[in-house]
Each structure stands twice: as structure tokens, then as C-alpha cells.
Chain A
């Protein structure tokens, strides 16, 4: 009898706790899949439904994952609904995909559908983009096409490029500067011998430049050095652990040909929605100068620039609290 009473008390207490959470914070926890052109792409929507705002996380890579960064972005879920979308041949996406679909145009088409699907599932909700690295390329691709901007309340771009030429130019500049600072003659000689011009972007040894940038500490941060993150990734995320390492193989054409054609510089003047440029200052992968150039090109948009002084390519990893606050402020401002 005593045991029964204790059990009832426990159940009552548990029930009250659960109810209390629901009353103060209506949570959304849904999993959708978008099936398109061979790919089954998951979209996990999690967070506070009440403000009717969705922040769509557009992950980098290509071939990276969205939910694997939830560990760092989770605090935002108390303010808004976070939508974590795994692009085709990335994260936990599956299906039977033709490698020929791994093109900017297809990713943009996928993104249009993801936004439409979110609009259909959450009518009236405002959608914000939180794009990182390669995701920024997709976001610019999306925002500079047709009237896509009308679906988006604001876009936060994190350490990503708008032009392949300007990107590689700035990476080389960054690496050359570091090579001189560190007195690395070998790196300096290589970088001096390989200037980047608009004419040679299709043929210049980008991998050589990129490799030197990494060797000169362009991004020394690794998520795998954080044991808590690794445990969470292996046990708590919906990703298939080994799948993550298979995706990059599919992006050979992207690296060799497709990415070299990417140029949205002239189109940024047509962007009229609020834009946040969030940058890790020490990044060598997409240097801070690209953020400044993006700002100069966004002539008709209200631009908020946030620099994370102690960060490289992923400020949400190195300055998580500051990053989350910057997103909160940006989303809070756009009413």
C-alpha cells in the first residue's frame, strides 16, 4: 500500500512537471521528410512554437549535417522553432541520388521546397535563414532567385561566400599574411607563385592554397576534441555515425567545377530583406574580409554585422553563448 502511495505521488509530481512545461512553453518536436529527385531529406523542427518564428538552419559542407550542430544551437529552441534540414547527400539524408543532382540549381530547388513545406506545416510563421559556410552559398542562390525573398523574414549568414573568385582571393591573402607573420618561407613562396585573378579562378591550384591556409591555422577547431559533443553525436543525434564520412566522396564535381562558377556579387544589391553577417574573426576558411565585401554589396538591405573575436569558421562552437544571443537579437528585431 505504501509503495502504491509513493508510486501515485511520483506519477502526480511527474505529471505536474510535464504540464507546467507545456503551459509555459509550447514545444514543437516534429520530424518531416522531403522526398525530391531521389533524395529523402529530413527536417527536424524543435522549439518554442508561440512566437511563430522558424529559424531554418542551412548547414555547410557540402555534405555536413544540421542536427549534429543542435548541441550548440539548442538554447535558441526556448525562443523560436529551430528547423534543422539535412540537404541531399548530407547528414541523415537517404535515398538513391543521382550525383548529377549535386548542383547549386538543385540545392536551390530543394530549399524552395523546404521553405514551402515549412510554410504549409506552420501557416503564418515567419521564416529566418541561419546559413553557415556552404549553406551561405545556398542561401544567396535562393535569395537571389525570382521572388524567393518574400518568403523570408531575415537571413543570417555565418562565414560563407558570395563569389568563388573573391573567396579564393581572400583565402590566399589571409594565408600569405600569416605565412609572412610566421616566417614560413615555403608557404610564402607557394602563395606568391599562385596569385588568384578573375581569369585563373577555374585553373588555379585552389587545393594548394587551401591546404596552406589550414596549415597556417585557418581553422584549428575540431568538434571531435569535445568529448561531450562526440558522445551526444554518437548517441543523441539522429545521424548515422558512419554515413557522415561517405558524403564528401560525392562532391568531386562540386569541388572541381561547380563551385568555381559561383558568383552572386552583382545580385546582392537586389536583396532587400534584413541580413545579419556573423563572422568568426580569425577564420581562414572564409576570411572576415568576405563579410565586409558582402556588406558593401548589400546596398539595399539593412545589414547587421557581428564579429566574434575569438572564433574561426564556426563561431557557434567557439563562442556559443554570444552566438545564440546574436541570433536572438537579430530575430527579435525583425517584427
Chain B
């Protein structure tokens, strides 16, 4: 009940303290050898600043990540996201987010399908579509708090579930590391 009340207060008070919209730009990959990039546009939904100067923010974002898993596939993830971020008075940043992402992959090789006459047809842009709910947990530092640098860095771990995958689903991990760049103040 207390928690629900807190969220209610956050939503009501948010617009008065709206912070900057920002751009998330970072490395995205399963490992160093499955490299990629993630870009996301982020907008605060509700913000509150506590007496101890900790900033709490509920944000919504829309992001796109692309990566290559060499000799396997090229992946594209479109992720609308809802997240919570806390920025401490020294700038330490913690965030947690959820996303019902859409995953599209393209096989990294020539794909052939057998025809009824025993020959093969080339399948262009072969791959597949999948639903990929994602839970992300991140830490970082907001450099604007103490050093007045309008930038924050973050590292975050994504836990994803690809559905369908073969006969069932696949749990995947990805590592993100990058910056949050404020776009404008409202």
C-alpha cells in the first residue's frame, strides 16, 4: 500500500520536476565478440527529488539495438522500455527497467530451402522474428551532479528471453555500456 502511494506521489509530482529528455548511446553485445550498438530516446514520466537530494525517476524510452554474432546472425532489437532510475546526491546511478522487446534476426550466411524438384532456392534476408521480454539492471554515474558535465555513464546487464527459439525459448544475456546524453530541459 505504501509502495502504491509512493508511485502515486511520483506520478503527481513528476511534471513539476521534469528533467531532461535524453539519448542513450552505448555498446551492446553478448560478449566482446558479439558486438553491437544501442541507441534509445528516453523521456521522464515522473520525477521526484527527496530531502536528501536523491533523484528518483520513472522513465519511458524507445530504443534500437543492433549487433552481429559472426557466422551466426545479425540481430536487431526494438525495445520500448519502462524504467526506474535513482541518482544519488554524489551522482551514483542505479536503474532497473522492463521491456517487451521485438527481436528480428538475419542469418549471417547464404540460406537455402529445398524445392519439391530436389533443387534449392536461395532465401533472401532469411531469419526470424521473436518476442524478447527483457529485464535490465544497471549502475553508473551522473557527471552533471558534481562536475557539471552534462553526461552520465552507465553499465547494465540485460536478461532476455527469446520466444520462440527452436522448440521452446532461449535465455540470453547482454552487456551494455555507454552514455546518457541530455537533449533538452523542459
B128 and A40 contact, CB distance less than 8 A: yes
CA distance A145 to B168 in the complex (A): 31
Any A CB within 8 A of the CB of B181: no
Cβ–Cβ < 8 Å partners of B164 in chain A = 96
Any B CB within 8 A of the CB of A240: yes
B71 and A31 contact, CB distance less than 8 A: yes
- With A35-B113, A35-B123, A113-B114 already in contact, the answer to whether A96 and B166 are too (CB < 8 A) is yes
Please list 15 pairs of residues, one from A and one from B, whose beta carbons are closer than 8 Å in the complex, sorted by A's number.
Answer: A31-B108, A31-B109, A33-B126, A34-B113, A35-B123, A35-B126, A94-B105, A94-B128, A94-B166, A97-B166, A116-B118, A241-B31, A243-B170, A246-B171, A250-B168
A240 and B69 contact, CB distance less than 8 A: yes
B110 and A33 contact, CB distance less than 8 A: yes
Q: Which chain B residue shows the least CB distance to A40?
A: B107
Any B CB within 8 A of the CB of A92: yes
B32 and A95 contact, CB distance less than 8 A: no
Q: Which chain B residue shows the least CB distance to A250?
A: B167
- With A30-B109, A32-B111, A116-B118 already in contact, the answer to whether A95 and B128 are too (CB < 8 A) is yes
A89 and B166 contact, CB distance less than 8 A: yes
Any A CB within 8 A of the CB of B116: no
Any B CB within 8 A of the CB of A255: no
Q: Which chain A residue shows the least CB distance to B129?
A: A96
B31 and A235 contact, CB distance less than 8 A: yes
Cβ–Cβ < 8 Å partners of B59 in chain A = none
Cβ–Cβ < 8 Å partners of B17 in chain A = none
* Chain B residues within CB distance 8 Å of chain A: 30-33, 69-73, 105, 107-114, 118-120, 123, 126, 128, 164-173
Cβ–Cβ < 8 Å partners of A95 in chain B = 128, 166
Q: Which of A30-64 contact B (CB under 8 A)?
A: 30-36, 39-40, 42, 44
Cβ–Cβ < 8 Å partners of B165 in chain A = 94, 243, 246
- With A94-B73, A238-B69 already in contact, the answer to whether A34 and B112 are too (CB < 8 A) is yes
Distance in angstroms from B132 CB to nearest chain A CB is: 13
B171 and A242 contact, CB distance less than 8 A: yes
Cβ–Cβ < 8 Å partners of B33 in chain A = 235-236
CA distance A93 to B33 in the complex (A): 19
Distance in angstroms from B136 CB to nearest chain A CB is: 17
- Which 9 residue pairs are nearest across A and B when measured between Cβ atoms? A31-B109, A238-B71, A33-B111, A250-B167, A238-B72, A35-B113, A96-B164, A99-B167, A89-B166
A234 and B120 contact, CB distance less than 8 A: no
CA distance A234 to B29 in the complex (A): 13
Q: Which chain B residue shows the least CB distance to A247?
A: B166
A240 and B70 contact, CB distance less than 8 A: no
Any B CB within 8 A of the CB of A111: no
- With A33-B109, A33-B126 already in contact, the answer to whether A240 and B166 are too (CB < 8 A) is no
Any B CB within 8 A of the CB of A117: yes
Q: Which of A32, A39, A116 contacts B110 (CB under 8 A)?
A: A32
Given A33-B126, A94-B105, 10 more A-B residue pairs with CB atoms under 8 Å apart are A34-B113, A36-B114, A39-B166, A96-B128, A97-B167, A120-B120, A235-B31, A240-B172, A241-B30, A241-B31
Distance in angstroms from B118 CB to nearest chain A CB is: 7
Q: Mark A100-135, 1 if CB is under 8 A from B, else 0.
A: 001000000000010011001000000000000000
Q: Which of A40, A96, A120, A240 contacts B126 (CB under 8 A)?
A: A40
Q: Which of A221-254 contact B (CB under 8 A)?
A: 234-236, 238-243, 246-247, 249-250
Cβ–Cβ < 8 Å partners of B166 in chain A = 39, 88-89, 93-97, 246-247, 250
Cβ–Cβ < 8 Å partners of A116 in chain B = 114, 118, 120
A42 and B72 contact, CB distance less than 8 A: yes
B30 and A42 contact, CB distance less than 8 A: no
Q: Which chain B residue shows the least CB distance to A29?
A: B71
Distance in angstroms from B142 CB to nearest chain A CB is: 33
- With A242-B172, A250-B167 already in contact, the answer to whether A44 and B71 are too (CB < 8 A) is yes
CA distance A235 to B70 in the complex (A): 10
